């Protein structure tokens, strides 16, 4: 039995008093001092882990002012603050032991769009993809293009002066800032934009901190113009952070060039006015194939002669990983057998100009193909969807690397170096030689058009000897980069690499940076230790050897890590923070916007749970049996009385999971939270009592069989009575479904349907027309019309259908963590399914969540069972489908588990409808919010509705005559629409049966 888990990290008295006082101010945001929230803010996409004292989620700019006005009081002078956006930083920029100011949860409003003047005003928590989706219909976009665009916030982009693909023509974030509003540590609000010399004089004469800031920045720049020109690199990917070289530009004096890239060390950004760029009318993409990575790199200079918008290279390591990933189906025809590729994109508003450039490049490739060191082939496309798929491959590079097997994983610490593009090939050869001397595996990809290379050496940071290589290799890379006239941090900021700042700026300019820090933040309270510390203090910058995740993880015994392996594989890339409503990843995070309720959050909770368990005793608690009922009762009562147990925080985080399995494929690392959740619940309920609801819901399949067999009509009547409704609410159950009448059994008997007889398989001459229709307990007992339509369709298409009664799949048992019972049920059902398999007939199941349970969860006991989804079977028999003579267009809203575990399933329906002469549109839609048991649990009803409203509620029609054209393959999905919209979508099988066989 697991023990009660206490914490080793508590709040300081000063922070505790500060948070209590903050509650009595006009601060309207969210105050989170629970350990789970603090733990979630302790990591980003870097190698570091630092637990903060608290997390604040301001709702407005005034909330930020309130925080700093209170913090300015003498009693709270030692408290520090660090702004945080999307948490995608690779160098720990937003990690701190103070208080985190997370603006991403509530300050995410697009405030104003002015198309006439070409700008947009946003709050700092607006996500890049969110903004560009909002702007797309107007033909404009915010140009800086980042790989983590689905979760990177504008505030975070400003603080790191971010850039990515296309920076050669679009520049950095700072090139698109028109005005910033910000707050200093004393609560002073500032606003900055490019100003004239006369306006600068007025600003310098302003009283207080604002005047001092303008005076100091102007002095630092004007007194050291020659040194700045000499010291700052002459290259496209410019040095980030306190950009002295760009303060004076064509528009005058621009303080925003100092704030952009400052990593939250100077002020907290509360609003930004940003320049918009017209979306190019035309694009062409080349995928140029090479026999090796060196050839792709060497080609970069000649490719630049054609003036493309972007050139991105991908090496053999990432391409090989892509071939093992679900993205491969979308790009396999474009990358072929290439060992390395260059993605070359041209954009223009003038089609003739674009075509001329593309033709020149095509001629060059064809002339040189086949020669040593030259391209081995290419693919050219102007199709928007194909271009999008190829850039998605490039975006997934980091995530794909995390899937490498073994204890050594690619990690970011020398990840974004850059040199002048003309020196890139030579620099890379020396870089490769450096890493080869250590015998390290690594992958390389990046923006070769601007000389920026992403390199992630594979290290096991749980091993102290590998951890020591962080310093050893970093020092050598700094020397190598300087040798080639480059920079250590061309794209992802400094963070815990700040100690190298002096080597690139020199002593004189380094002290000027410290003066600027001192005038903005004299007491070093904003993100202390990053970039520089204030002049006049002895505070050090952060160290490269700051606490790392590996130091925490290595405290967990290896057998425990193996049992929860995917939790330790999570690399923190944050792909699960995607809030796009059409994405199925991750519905609980989308519904709550609380990172505890994300795959990354849950993986972190579990890792810390295991660490705390390991540190609590040497006993192997995970291997011990559960306590008896009296012991469980005692612990349950103690928990109810308020006795703290960190296991409860883990439970609360996992309890919000819908078990939809989207993360199992949509996460680049395939962090399968539903499986981890089942393991945890199995252990958790070894200490605590389960609710009656768990036993009821866990055995719902058996209960449904019993109800339908003995008294279906009585069951339905009872479900509508006030007493039963009240009892269900007391048990925490809402909207229990009714048994279908007439029952499937009665209706099939009326059709004289054949039932599977394992002792009498069909004759050989009959078997090619015979199929097994494997019923499931949800379709069979709650949706009889669908089962009958399926039977009738298969029969009318000429198949001899043998109906199998529904076995108990155990899916609800697995979801709720009844693992012992699930294993027993699954083993019995597997034996039955293997007997069906021995008949050598196709086995077809209707409900995707059950079919995929047989192919996924059951795989741990042998090969996945060959139970087919209906569309997988019908696709093999398109010649049997008659042609419909109607022009009706249908729309399919896919089941999230089906879309993720069987990626081809949706297009298969489209092919089937096309073969039948019917039109089927595949709608991009997120999760419906039901997910089986989740939507029937009373405490999840509001979140279930919120998730539904994000996409399904917006897409489904209100007009009765249009509803019949919307289809859904999931029982849960159809039930959710019935519950919230009052009508039930059809299954595609029902449309095919009604249309083709009537």
Distance spanning both ends of the chain, measured CA to CA:
60
DSSP letters for 161-207: T---BTHHHH--GGGGEEEEEEE-TTS-EEEEE-B-HHHHHHHHTSS
Q: CA 995, CA 775: separation in Å to the nearest integer?
A: 23
DSSP-based three-state secondary structure for 150: coil
What is the overall mean pLDDT for the chain?
A: 92
pLDDT in tens, 383-430: 999 999 998 888 877 777 777 778 899 999 999 999 998 899 999 999
Could you tell me if 154 and 582 are in contact, meaning their C-beta atoms sit under 8 angstroms apart?
A: no
Tokens 């307990």 belong to which residue? 777
Tokens 């100092």 belong to which residue? 258
Residue 792: predicted pLDDT: 96
Residue 888: predicted pLDDT: 86
Residue 619: predicted pLDDT: 56
Rounded alpha-carbon distances, angstroms, from residue 573 to 399, 599, 668: 7, 11, 9
Q: Is the pLDDT of residue 561 over 70?
A: yes
Could you tell me if 182 and 268 are in contact, meaning their C-beta atoms sit under 8 angstroms apart?
A: yes
Residue 252: predicted pLDDT: 95
Confidence of residue 621 (pLDDT cuts 50, 70, 90): low
Residue 728: predicted pLDDT: 93
pLDDT in tens, 645-687: 999 999 999 999 999 999 988 888 889 999 999 999 999 999 9
**Pairing of the two strands 754-755 and 800-804:** parallel
What pTM does this model have? 0.93
pLDDT in tens, 753-807: 999 888 777 766 666 789 999 999 999 999 999 999 999 999 999 999 999 999 9
Q: Does residue 586 have a cis bond before it (omega within 30 degrees)?
A: yes
Residue 237: predicted pLDDT: 77
pLDDT in tens, 829-850: 999 999 999 999 999 999 999 9
């Amino acid at each position: 039995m697991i023990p009660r888990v206490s914490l080793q990290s508590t709040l300081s008295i000063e922070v505790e008093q500060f948070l209590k006082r903050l509650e009595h101010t006009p601060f309207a945001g969210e105050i989170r001092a629970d350990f789970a929230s603090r733990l979630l803010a302790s990591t980003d996409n870097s190698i570091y882990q630092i637990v903060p004292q608290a997390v604040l989620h301001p709702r407005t700019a005034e909330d930020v002012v309130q925080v700093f006005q209170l913090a300015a009081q003498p009693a709270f002078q030692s408290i520090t603050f660090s702004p945080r956006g999307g948490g995608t930083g690779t160098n720990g920029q937003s990690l701190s032991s103070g208080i985190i100011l997370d603006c991403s949860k509530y300050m995410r409003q697009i405030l104003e769009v002015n198309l006439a003047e070409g700008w947009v005003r946003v709050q700092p928590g607006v996500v890049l993809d969110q903004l560009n989706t909002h702007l797309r219909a107007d033909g404009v976009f915010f140009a800086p293009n980042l790989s983590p665009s689905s979760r990177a916030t504008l505030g975070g982009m400003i603080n790191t002066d971010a850039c990515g693909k296309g920076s050669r023509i679009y520049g950095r974030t700072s090139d698109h800032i028109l005005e910033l509003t910000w707050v200093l540590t004393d609560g002073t609000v500032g606003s900055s934009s490019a100003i004239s010399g006369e306006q600068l004089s007025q600003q310098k004469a302003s009283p207080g901190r604002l005047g001092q800031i303008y005076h100091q920045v102007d002095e630092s720049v004007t007194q050291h113009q020659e040194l700045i020109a000499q010291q700052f690199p002459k290259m496209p990917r410019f040095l980030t952070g306190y950009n002295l070289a760009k303060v004076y530009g064509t528009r005058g004096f621009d303080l925003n060039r100092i704030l952009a890239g400052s990593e939250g060390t100077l002020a907290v950004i509360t609003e930004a006015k940003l320049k918009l760029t017209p979306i190019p009318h035309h694009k062409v993409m080349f995928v140029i194939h090479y026999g090796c990575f060196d050839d792709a790199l060497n080609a970069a200079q000649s490719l630049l002669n054609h003036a493309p918008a972007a050139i991105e290279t991908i090496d053999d390591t990432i391409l090989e990983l892509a071939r093992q990933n679900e993205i491969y189906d979308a790009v396999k025809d474009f990358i072929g057998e290439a060992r390395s590729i260059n993605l070359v994109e041209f954009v223009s508003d003038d089609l003739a100009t674009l075509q001329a450039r593309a033709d020149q490049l095509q001629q060059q490739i064809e002339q040189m193909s086949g020669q040593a060191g030259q391209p081995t082939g290419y693919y050219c496309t102007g199709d928007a969807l194909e271009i999008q798929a190829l850039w998605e491959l490039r975006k997934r590079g980091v995530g794909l690397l995390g899937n490498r097997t073994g204890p050594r994983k690619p990690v970011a610490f020398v990840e974004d170096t850059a040199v002048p593009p003309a020196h890139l090939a030579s620099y890379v050869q020396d870089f490769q030689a450096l890493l080869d001397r250590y015998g390290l595996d690594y992958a390389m990809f990046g923006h070769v058009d601007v000389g920026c290379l992403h390199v992630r050496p594979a290290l096991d940071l749980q091993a102290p000897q590998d951890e020591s290589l962080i310093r050893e290799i970093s020092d050598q890379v700094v020397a190598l980069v300087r040798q080639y006239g480059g920079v250590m941090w061309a794209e992802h900021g400094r963070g815990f690499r700040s100690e190298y700042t002096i080597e690139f700026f020199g002593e004189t300019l380094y002290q000027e940076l410290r003066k600027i820090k001192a005038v903005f933040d004299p007491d070093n309270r904003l993100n202390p230790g990053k970039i520089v510390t204030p002049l006049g203090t002895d505070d050090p910058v952060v160290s490269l050897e700051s606490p790392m995740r590996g130091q925490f993880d290595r405290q967990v015994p290896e057998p425990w890590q193996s049992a929860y392996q995917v939790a330790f594989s999570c690399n923190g890339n944050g792909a699960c923070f995607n809030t796009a409503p059409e994405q199925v990843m991750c519905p609980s995070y989308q519904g709550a916007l609380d990172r505890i309720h994300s795959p990354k959050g849950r993986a972190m909770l579990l890792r810390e749970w295991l660490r705390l368990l390991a540190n609590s005793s040497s006993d192997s608690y995970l291997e011990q049996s559960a306590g008896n009922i009296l012991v469980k009762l005692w612990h349950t009562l103690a928990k109810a009385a308020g006795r703290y147990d960190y296991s409860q925080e883990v439970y609360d985080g996992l309890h919000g999971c819908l078990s939809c399995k989207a993360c199992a494929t949509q996460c680049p690392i395939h962090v399968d939270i539903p499986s981890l959740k089942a393991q945890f619940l199995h252990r958790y309920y070894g200490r605590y009592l389960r609710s009656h609801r768990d036993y009821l819901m866990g055995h719902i399949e058996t209960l449904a069989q019993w109800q339908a067999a003995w008294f279906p009509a009585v069951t339905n009547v009872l479900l509508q009575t006030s007493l039963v409704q009240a009892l269900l609410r007391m048990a925490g159950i809402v909207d229990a479904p009714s048994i279908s009448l007439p029952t499937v059994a009665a209706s099939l008997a009326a059709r004289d349907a054949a039932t599977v007889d394992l002792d009498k398989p069909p004759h050989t001459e009959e078997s090619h027309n015979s199929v097994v229709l494997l019923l499931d307990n949800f379709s069979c007992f709650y949706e009889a019309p669908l089962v009958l339509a399926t039977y009738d369709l298969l029969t009318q298409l000429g198949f001899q259908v043998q109906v199998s009664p529904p076995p108990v799949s155990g899916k609800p048992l697995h979801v709720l963590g009844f693992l012992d019972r699930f294993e027993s049920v699954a083993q019995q059902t597997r034996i039955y399914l293997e007997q069906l398999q021995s008949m050598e007939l196709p086995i077809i199941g209707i409900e995707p969540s059950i079919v995929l349970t047989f192919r996924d969860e059951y795989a741990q006991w042998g090969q996945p069972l060959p139970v087919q989804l209906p569309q997988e079977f019908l696709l093999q028999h398109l010649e049997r489908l008659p042609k419909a003579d109607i022009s009706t267009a249908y729309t399919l809203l896919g089941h999230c588990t089906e879309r993720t575990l069987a990626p081809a399933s949706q297009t298969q329906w489209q092919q089937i409808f096309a073969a039948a002469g019917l039109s089927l549109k595949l709608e991009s839609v997120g999760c419906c919010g039901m997910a089986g048991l989740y939507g029937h649990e009373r405490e999840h009803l509001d979140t279930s509705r919120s998730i539904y409203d994000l996409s399904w509620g917006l897409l489904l029609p209100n007009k009765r005559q249009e509803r019949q054209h919307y289809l859904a393959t999931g029982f849960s999905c159809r039930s959710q629409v019935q519950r919230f919209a009052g009508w039930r979508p059809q299954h595609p099988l029902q449309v095919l049966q009604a249309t083709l066989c009537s």
